[in-house]
Structure 1
Amino acid sequence: MLASLALAARAQASDGCAGAPGGDTASRIAAVACAEHASWYSPFIDEAGRLAHLRVSEAEALRLRDGTPAWRRVAAYWQGSGLGWPPDGLHAQADCFGAAPERNALCRSFLVDTPWSAVFVSWVMARAGVPGFAHSARHVDYVRQAWRGVGPYRYADPDATPPAVGDLLCYSRMPAPFGVAGFRAWLARGHDGPLAMHCDIVVSTANARARLVGGNVLQGVTMRLLPLNAAGRFWNLPRRTGADPECSPALPSACNLHRHDWVALLKLDAAANLPAPPATPPGPCCEICHLPMPPGMRRCAAPAPPPATPPAP
């Protein structure tokens, strides 16, 4: 895990990510998310809702900082998310880790066409060893779990509750905005079906600014910066309404990548904020390993049951 810890340290220094490797559950969540953000060359959306930096995207063969092609890293999120491998919808002849171009293309088309933001959250929770998390390819499943008071998270109003490291801030993608009250009413009616949503992971709340990391945000692992008020709550979250004007070059004031139907803050429950598991043996290790591995290198032990080892190229 040394490579990931180094990435996390760089992310903390350059991006304000919180959470030292190890520590409690919240710190581990932040360290994993920050390391991945750094690996994608730290793309971010600034406080004004403008994309400030983007270098690589999900479908590309361009390599991340650790040398992994971007599309293969997304496949690794699916494989290590706790959802089972291969995922539903992946073509039977697809190969996400081998060298055959035709079979690779089937995998890449699945990765591009299938949302993976909830898969990324599930992967982070698996890597951080979060107990009782509802691993899912749909954000609404763990939002619903939090609403019901089950698992490691508890539902809260994003306007009334200060965020903390390890929390999740979520919005609805439905065409007609819910608003916080409308979404709570929807949950209270006991709906069990799908709902298009997105959640970002809070990795820092320092200096009156929340930093959140999300997967599949502008086709990568991207940070968003949101201001906090003196009470530590989100300061005027940009909200999408039914009367929003269309973003266009003629109306740039209507363009804001933070403007969403923010409906839920999932708070990490104190009972789930546990100390780190026992330390792994000393020595260099890798999380996503290139085969053959160098002499003395080993695969890092995962805090959760590890995913199946990908076949050698």
Structure 2
Amino acid sequence: MATAAVVCAGTDPSRATTLGERISAVACRENALWYRPFINLHGQLASMALSEAETGLLQDGATPAWKRVAEYWRGSGLLWGMNSFPGAAACARAVNADFGSPDCRAFLIDRPWSAAFISFVLVRAGVPGFRPSARHIDYVRDAYLSPGSSPFLFVDPDIALPTAGDLLCYARGTTSFGYAGLQAWIAANPDAALAMHCEIVTRSADAHTAYLIGGNVLQSVTLRMLGLNRSGRFWNLPRGSDIGCSPGNQAVCNFNRHDWVVLLKLKPSLQAVPVTPIPGQPVEHGKCCVQCVVGAGIPRCPASH
């Protein structure tokens, strides 16, 4: 079986030849930073090193795990819209702090950050027409109701061919939607909230396996493996619930089992747009930065640069 190291070998976005590969590279780089945690084809968590609010250092040897999650909020441009939630303002101040911020770390635990992670990756990749959001349903809805302006097409995950840069999404909760059910729900509720989760399809190193990366998957940036058929389409996407999961009933325990409802297909004609720095983000000059963020992986420019 291919490993995450092989799947995400190309983690330099500047070397990507397509927008999809660039999105994949940014996501893979984040998974590598978290020591490549992954869920295997059997739905088992096979590797895990750190979780969202820990002070332990990531793979770069410099960034505490909690600060990287704070950067997903900040680097996506979403943090300033969360100021009404306790601890959000502390996260804005804590990025360059040398101490662990308990208020910020509480915010990171209490507020789901999977959509902030997706937004961070797509902003960093320069996806044109993408609107960052703290809710997955917003860009899912955009793809369905505004297909002309959205960078994604709203397609059936059981039929479409997944490729790098696509988003595979599931609906949370007790209601089972399916693809047709989600379409009907959005049409009837064009402005309502819906608990969802999306993950980024990366380049496949195995013809029979799809590799996806999501944030806040078991409190980390985690790679997921899903089966493909001979045509390269998802094969028997695991659906259902884990109700009854226990040591005595392990057959129903599967972290891959969800209500997979839609594949947001990246439009193949799209080209990356220049990334406009968000206030407080690194400002790059060649291969160095002036306003540096700890853990961004960019060295500080000399004073005379």
Under a length normalisation based on structure 2, what TM-score does the superposition of the two structures give?
A: 0.84
SS of corresponding position for 1:271 = coil
Q: 1:235 to 1:106 in 2, by over 3 A?
A: same
1:81-160 map, 5 Å: 81-85=76-80, 87-88=82-83, 89-91=85-87, 94=90, 95-97=93-95, 98-99=97-98, 104-148=101-145, 149=147, 150-160=149-159
Does residue 233 (structure 1) correspond to residue 233 (structure 2)? The answer is yes
Task: Provide the aligned C-alpha RMSD in A.
Answer: 2.7
Write the deviation string for residues 74-99 of structure 1: whole angstroms up to 9, x where unpaired: 00110011225362314476242324
* Distance (Å, rounded) in 2 between the aligned partners of 1:269 and 1:173: 26
* Residue number in structure 2 paired with 1:178: 177
Does residue 218 (structure 1) correspond to residue 257 (structure 2)? The answer is no
* Distance (Å, rounded) in 2 between the aligned partners of 1:96 and 1:19: 27
* Distance (Å, rounded) in 2 between the aligned partners of 1:270 and 1:212: 18
* Equivalent residues, number: 281
* Residue number in structure 2 paired with 1:187: 186
Aligned residues of 2:4 and 2:38 also touching (Cα < 8 A): no
Does residue 15 (structure 1) correspond to residue 7 (structure 2)? The answer is yes
Residue 126 of structure 1 deviates from its aligned partner by 0.7
* Residue number in structure 2 paired with 1:68: 63
* Distance (Å, rounded) in 2 between the aligned partners of 1:240 and 1:167: 23
Structure 1 counterpart of 2:124, which letter? R
Aligned residues of 2:165 and 2:266 also touching (Cα < 8 A): yes
Residue 145 of structure 1 deviates from its aligned partner by 0.4
Write the deviation string for residues 131-162 of structure 1: whole angstroms up to 9, x where unpaired: 11020000000000011213100100000111
Does residue 288 (structure 1) correspond to residue 293 (structure 2)? The answer is yes
Write the deviation string for residues 181-216 of structure 1: whole angstroms up to 9, x where unpaired: 211211222431110000000012342211000000
In the alignment, structure 2 segments of 5+ residues that lack a partner are 276-283
* Residue number in structure 1 paired with 2:50: 56
Does residue 265 (structure 1) correspond to residue 263 (structure 2)? The answer is yes
Residue 294 of structure 1 deviates from its aligned partner by 6.8
Aligned residues of 2:4 and 2:223 also touching (Cα < 8 A): no
Aligned residues of 1:210 and 1:228 also touching (Cα < 8 A): yes
SS of corresponding position for 1:73 = helix
Q: 1:249 to 1:174 in 2, by over 3 A?
A: same
Under a length normalisation based on structure 1, what TM-score does the superposition of the two structures give?
A: 0.82
* Distance (Å, rounded) in 1 between the aligned partners of 2:86 and 2:226: 36
* Distance (Å, rounded) in 1 between the aligned partners of 2:142 and 2:295: 37
* Residue number in structure 2 paired with 1:251: 249
Aligned residues of 2:289 and 2:299 also touching (Cα < 8 A): no
Aligned residues of 2:245 and 2:252 also touching (Cα < 8 A): yes
When structure 1 is superposed on structure 2, of 77-86 and 111-120 the one drifting more is 77-86
